[in-house]
Amino acid sequence: QVSWKLEDHPNLPKGKTVALIVLDGWGEYKPDEYNCIHVAPTPTMDSLKQGAPEKWRLIKAHGNAVGLPTEDDMGNSEVGHNALGAGRIFAQGAKLVDLALASGKIYEGEGFKYISECFEKGTLHLIGLLSDGGVHSRLDQLQLLLKGASERGAKRIRVHILTDGRDVLDGSSVGFVETLENDLAKLRDGGVDARIASGGGRMYVTMDRYENDWDVVKRGWDAQVRGEAPHKFTNAVEAVKKLRENANDQYLPPFVIVDENEKAVGPIVDGDAVVTFNFRADRMVMLAKALEYQDFDKFDRVRVPKIRYAGMLQYDGELKLPNHYLVSPPEIDRTSGEYLVRNGVRTFACSETVKFGHVTFFWNGNRSGYFNPELEEYVEIPSDVGITFNVQPKMKALEIGEKARDAILSRKFDQVRVNIPNGDMVGHTGDIQATVVACKAADEAVKIIIDAIEQVGGIYVVTADHGNAEDMVKRNKSGQPLFDKNGNLQILTSHTCQPVPIAIGGPGLAPGVRFRNDVPNGGLANVAATVMNLHGYVAPNDYEPTLIEVVKN
Ligand code: 3PG
Ligand code: CO
């Protein structure tokens, strides 16, 4: 039985409007020409930094601080928002899958038993992101699963690959496909009929999120399930090399692998088993719905095979989606959002589509929907569809800022929470000039919100979920940019391991509130207790400690 009542903070008042701004992909790094946040005019964020160390500091946003397996793991939005919202550090999907594979427990669970019933007569299909990025999936986990499944009776395996270039360097897809082909060849030597069946770039095929563009999922469905795609190859390495002539890894068009008679080698048919091997939810939920739901009207599936489907994890605990899964997801319970709403804190959350679930679903511990619709309002601003965001680097930053402003000025909410996506979404394109424009737009959105907070006498908290735009090149250990063999700068499209800023302020901030100096290793998970304090509450005991103290003068 959870006791939801939060204790009153001894020194801090209730009833202040708190704006909580998460800049996506906004880390702190040395100021050079590849630091787009440094290059961009960002007067608002610069002025907040002047408040250091009492009102501005850095916090950790990668590795163990956000529940990832190692300190080499860069942060990402899922684990970042989970930590921000939950106030505690949970072992995340990447780690849970590692553990389940290492112990073999993955094969003893209900999910694996369920799919393995198909191994005798059907094909096992594995669909997911092929890279070692560790954000949505990991190649070594796929390798172990392939091995484990074949040792446990899978006789025919088809892998449907999604190329990355977003959590890893563009162009790295070729090497990953080669590695996979080697593994599959070994399985074939051992008598398992194992092949790549289809593929495509993650941003163009399958891995859309938050229902931004169902066509992306449809293209994947056509290739994976129906065995139909505009491009046909007999070999996946060749496919990726050829298609890369006109697109980068993230955006490769869909292709299917065919035999000598032009017949797709691995459509999904009745009696087959399917596993989506991504552990991260946001970009698998849409496919999971298409695979699992009887009633489904987002696109014409044409043929709906009777399959046994399991996710690597359950992607949405509230929707129980999918029903079957190989590894239990982290049980992120008692989030700060739920506590605050249950204590009467009226909450507004907003972002544009591509990040909307970050400040709602991820924030609330991978849970969709409201806790109490009477106290909450979540507003989604439709993202531009069908473009890469370097073309529109301002995205909907100003619209998000304005929605937050209106919510603040309405005085209907105690917490107004936003995610401003630009640094991240444009940073992922690897387009440095566009990312500079993106950072400027994000800074302007922050200003709109802070100005509104000034007007209502409120408090602002500005932070970020992980690094991205502050470093756009791959570097050697001493921090020098790296060039490829043709002398081209190696552009970093991925996130980073850099810390992120957090700033507090506003006229409602009680005198004497400042960052403590005894939490030097503070990370994203320390923000929840901090925000609870600013709402006038003490955080539950097991939350990571607050970053602030109140000094009497
Ligand atoms: C993506 O899904 O776009 C990237 O893999 C990670 O980006 P995010 O963690 O910022 O969403
Ligand atoms: Co990102």
Q: What per-residue string of b and e applies to 163-190 under the rule 16 or more CB within 10 Å gives b?
A: bbbbbbbbebbebbbebbbebbeebeee
pTM of the model: 0.97
Nearest CA to ligand 1 atom 8: 77
- Per-residue pLDDT, 109: 97
Atom of ligand 1 nearest to the CA of 424: 10
SS3 140: helix
What is the whole-number distance in angstroms between the Cα of residue 282 and the centre of ligand 1?
9
- Per-residue pLDDT, 1: 84
Atom of ligand 1 nearest to the CA of 133: 5
What is the whole-number distance in angstroms between the Cα of residue 328 and the centre of ligand 1?
22
- Per-residue pLDDT, 2: 87
What is the whole-number distance in angstroms between the Cα of residue 78 and the centre of ligand 1?
8
Check if 116 is active-site. no
- Per-residue pLDDT, 43: 98
In this structure, how many other beta carbons lie within 10 angstroms of the beta carbon of residue 34?
22
Structural contact between residues 145 and 104, judged by C-beta atoms closer than 8 angstroms: no
| ipTM of the shown complex | 0.99
What is the whole-number distance in angstroms between the Cα of residue 98 and the centre of ligand 2?
22
- Per-residue pLDDT, 83: 98
Atom of ligand 1 nearest to the CA of 465: 10
- Per-residue pLDDT, 553: 72
Splitting the chain (553 residues) into consecutive groups of 10 residues, what average pLDDT does each group show?
95 98 98 98 98 98 98 98 98 98 98 98 98 98 98 98 98 98 98 98 98 98 98 98 98 98 98 98 98 98 98 95 97 97 98 98 95 98 96 98 98 98 98 98 99 98 98 96 94 98 98 98 98 98 98 86
Give the residues surrounding ligand 1 with Cβ less than 6 Å away: 24-25, 76-78, 135-136, 166-167, 283, 424, 428
DSSP code for 281: S
Domains of the chain listed by start with CATH number: 7-91+331-550 (3.40.720.10), 94-327 (3.40.1450.10)
- Which entry of 3, 47, 77, 131 is annotated as an active-site residue? 77
SS3 388: coil
Choose one of 76, 163, 284 to mutate for the ligand 1 pocket test, by most ligand atoms within 8 angstroms of C-beta. Answer: 76
